[in-house]
Amino acid sequence: MAKNMRYFVLQENERDSSHVFTGRQPRQAALKAASRGFTSIILRERGAKKLHIYSGERLKVSAPDNKPDWMPETIWRAKVSKKGIRHL
């Protein structure tokens, strides 16, 4: 793993789920969760008493002009917006 990697556990029904996302920033982990189809994203940071709250979605967009040959014409793009932080 890369340096300064942080672990974020996805909360479902106010409890930890089995989904763990990594990233240097909570937004990076939230984007990974959104790309897998989660829309209400509450991430508990391991080792810290914080909950990072996001709303997310997946959007179907056209692929960039410099895409490789194997990439389809349309791709999924994750989008998140931060709603706040709750301290435990």
pTM: 0.87
Rounded Cα–Cα distance for residues 21 and 62 (Å) = 26
What are the angstrom distances between the C-alpha of 14 and each of 11, 30, 31, 70?
Answer: 6, 17, 20, 40
Predicted pLDDT of residue 1: 56
- Paired with 43 in beta bridges are 10, 52
Predicted pLDDT of residue 78: 96
Note the pLDDT tens digit of each residue in 35-88.
999 999 999 999 999 999 999 999 999 999 999 999 999 999 999 999 999 998
